[in-house]
Amino acid sequence: MSAEENGSPNTRVRLNLVITKQLDEMLEKLAEANGTNKSEILRKALALFEVAHEAKEHGNKLGIVSKDRQVLTEIVGL
């Protein structure tokens, strides 16, 4: 069985995604600012969402913390 057939983590799947023009512009801006492409931005966003989901399942919260460890923003609604 090949790596593609057994669902290796590196196997790629093509998706068609319908989003608003505004979201497409946001993706483009983020990709350009980070020297990458829109697909990579979406992969990173999904990875961050997974972290938030797991934190919530364990009774934890997600937030933005300053360098001196003060919570600046709690992210809710994820």
User: In the predicted model, what is the mean pLDDT of residues 61-66?
Assistant: 92
Per-residue pLDDT band for 39 (boundaries 50, 70, 90) equals very high
Residue 14, CA distances (Å) to 11, 17, 39, 76, 77 in order: 10, 10, 10, 30, 28
Per-residue pLDDT band for 20 (boundaries 50, 70, 90) equals very high
Per-residue pLDDT band for 26 (boundaries 50, 70, 90) equals very high
CB-based contact 52:78 (threshold 8 Å): yes
Quick one: pLDDT at residue 78? 78
More confident residue, 11 or 6: 11
Domain ranges of the chain: 21-75
Whole-structure pTM value: 0.76
